[in-house]
Structure 1
């Protein structure tokens, strides 16, 4: 069978979410419908501010890296990476896990034909605020690593140094659509013929108190009353939805040309079959039915299929009342009435710039395992025209998935994933 040079395969996955560190833990959590929501109290000035949170699963970087089947030289380089932010540390772990999962650790590849794309901007806010507060009034003693850490591209440099990658590297920002946009950019780099492999990473977006409070006062992040049970706050597409819950997540995909994959004899998780992108000529947070619909239809058309071929939609599904209603209206306008759908954010929260990439990973895991995870807290859906996966896992084969990711500033992205 001939292999098209334009087919882009996913051959490796690495992930950390509130419900698991590593692909195996995350897979088990999706099947179980596991959640891990809590509340965080941040002392600021003379106030104590409380926010809902899906905290990233605890993991020890040193022992976790040592457990990955890496060359000893790579492990040594990774362990020497000190003075890096939590954002970059999580991204590095995911990259190493995906690299090994793709079988690239012991493969004979040209590292000059490997690129790195990082999805996300302003991902290190907590670390930067901590450093700024620590050295306020004594700037002459500031840690010189700050001059490297504050760049979003620090994760690119750390990964390239650890793995010896010498091709292209950069970061790309598109608000909450950054993860999907990074996948699209990786797709384009391989399609151009310049690269055989692209490592697409979404480092953890680590919020400071200013981002927590900013999202809350604008009404995007859910408030958490003193008497509330944290696990009950995140409710995508439920009539009781009241805003998103931040979920600390990071992930990495290895994208590879079909020709390069076949040459290595590597079996893929799936194929990035098409994408659709567009902006709404709007710098605000309010979404657009037309913009989202157009992105979905463009992705479906690029994949060479029809809306009726889509078996499953991994929704953007943040639990913002306006966002949820807009996405449902856009799905219906795109001819997706009756499609099976869930929200991964209902289980792990909203990873912000990492969300789209982590949800693509969740989609690939579900496609491989022939199941759809439950939607947590979806008791009274805002629409009965979508076939929601509610409170129990659904066992089903999935040939085509549509993964949506939308961001402030009218940024609309959709990706079609084909099973193998």
Structure 2
């Protein structure tokens, strides 16, 4: 018998250094966290619209004794995990959950920052050897390992790296472990810090980054709009605590929402070009897993990156799955306010979707003014639209390079 999975805690790194409630309130208002980001000390400086957590200080939040062995992506992930753990009503010093609690984490890039710093030290400063902790700081599973060690979670420490679907895949696989009776509690989510010179230049080389300047950066990300010009990179982390439903009830936990379904597949068509049929199949798999009909879904937190090909493909997938109902289906992309956080995006969007269900309200797609005809056929939520909704269920989409699709279905309680 499949076990129900409750969401009992959430946490995230807010780029403007506010509480999660204030972050959600800004998201509902469509207020952008995107600012103009300029690299420093680079041979050829880069300046782009981006989401940079300038006020995040790992040393202050975690202590130098921890951060000395942690890359920035691990620091952000651990802080988000601590916040979600305490939000779920657990004590970070309580180790009694060790055998039945685990970690499932997503990251697209891992500790790329520490490797770039190492290359700079060797090639620019002539250093012959790198710090001995470089490997353990840079490895992709570093964040999940730190979370497991610091919270004493011995059930599992798993890391998923499937580009932009990393966090959603990690959440979905954590859900499966609880549903199948392999764990009672899972800390899950994702973190990424792509705002480093090499990564920015690589994405710029693909010609998919939205241009901008100091003045217009907040509106640089325009999913589904005729004038959309590309994605906006961002850094960040988010975490959720998933728990066996009966376990949560027994301890008197507050249940925010239910994670009811997960669908994942591969387009197996093209390395970078999205495939709407593969995306539609992933959505259908998630709904089938949740055991709910499409008509019960009231909101879709879209992958919506504001790329020319990606946005129409996702809308076509939604039209395929939801049919006539698609015209009444509320859809928005919150990347318009928090940017594309790579492997962490699915976790941030999952947290937002959970809060939407809890508060019976959906966020708009900021900067969406003139809907592209190729993106028509759904009820796009824009700033100023009526967004109060008695939601029964909502889905969050993550579609990645490599054709990796991951869809999560959430239900209100």
Do both proteins adopt the same fold according to a TM-score greater than 0.5, normalized to the shorter chain?
yes
The 1-side partners of 2:23 and 2:205 are apart by 32
Cα deviation for residue 180 of structure 1 reads 0.7
Match of 1:409 among 378, 402, 406: 402
- The change in CA–CA distance for 1:228 and 1:321 in structure 2 (over 3 A counts) is farther
Deviation at 1:113, TM superposition (A): 1.1
1:73 aligned partner: none
Q: 1:283: how far off?
A: 4.6
**Which residue is equivalent to 1:71?**
none
Task: Give the counterpart of 2:208 among 220, 239, 254.
Answer: 220
Q: What's the secondary structure of 2:315's corresponding residue?
A: helix
Of residues 93, 102, 118, the one that matches 2:105 is 118
Paired residue for 1:68? Answer: none
Task: Specify every segment of 5 or more residues in structure 1 that has no aligned partner in the other structure, as ranges.
Answer: 66-75
Give the secondary structure class of the aligned counterpart of 2:13: strand
Which of 379, 386, 394 is 1:387 aligned to?
379
How far has the Cα of 1:284 moved from its partner? 1.4
2:366 matched to 1:376? yes
Q: Which residue of 2 aligns with 1:13?
A: 10
1:204 has 2:192 as partner: yes
CA contact (8 A) 1:202 1:250 kept: yes
Q: Deviations over 1:87-118 (max 9, x none)?
A: 11100100000000111218784311111111
Does structure 2 retain, via aligned residues, the 8 Å contact 1:19–1:348? no
Aligned mates of 2:16, 2:329 — CA distance in 1: 26
Question: 3-state SS of the aligned residue for 1:52?
Answer: strand
CA RMSD after TM alignment: 2.2
* Higher alpha-carbon deviation: 136-145 or 256-265: 136-145
Q: Provide Cα deviations, 1:38-74, integer angstroms capped at 9, x if missing partner.
A: 2222357642322221112623445556xxxxxxxxx
Asked if the contact 1:182/1:200 (under 8 Å) is kept, the reply is yes
Q: Is 1:261 the counterpart of 2:248 in the alignment? A: yes
Deviations 1:321-356, CA, capped at 9 Å, x for gaps: 100011111111112332011111011111111111
Which of 45, 48, 55 is the equivalent residue of 2:45?
48
Matches within 5 A, 1:213-292: 213-224=201-212, 229-292=216-279
Write the distance in 2 (CA, Å) between the matches of 1:91 and 1:253. 11
Conserved? CA contact 1:21–1:57, under 8 Å? no
Unpaired stretches in structure 2, ≥5 consecutive residues: none
Give CA-to-partner distance per residue, 1:290-336, whole Å, 9 cap, x none.
00111111111221111111100000010001000111111111123
Alignment of 1:12-411 (within 5 A): 12-42=9-39, 46-56=43-53, 58-61=55-58, 64=61, 80-105=66-91, 109-136=96-123, 138-224=126-212, 229-335=216-322, 336-382=326-372, 383-392=375-384, 394-411=387-404
**Cα separation, 2, equivalents of 1:83 and 1:301:** 43
Offset of residue 391 of structure 1: 1.1
Conserved? CA contact 2:263–2:284, under 8 Å:
yes
Query: Does the CA-based 8 Å contact 2:233-2:339 persist in structure 1?
Result: yes
Deviations 1:17-51 (A, max 9, x none): 43444423322322332212222223576423222
Matched residue SS, 1:53: strand
Q: TM-score, normalised by structure 2?
A: 0.92
Separation in 2 of the partners of 1:203 and 1:21? 18
Indicate if the aligned counterparts of 1:94 and 1:250 stay in contact, CA closer than 8 A: yes
Structure 1 pair 26–92 and aligned structure 2 pair: CA distance change class (3 A): same
How much does 1:402 deviate? 1.2
Deviates more, 1:214-223 or 1:324-333: 214-223
How many equivalent pairs are there?
405
C-alpha deviation, 1:187, in angstroms: 1.0
8 A contact 1:33–1:376 mirrored in 2:
yes
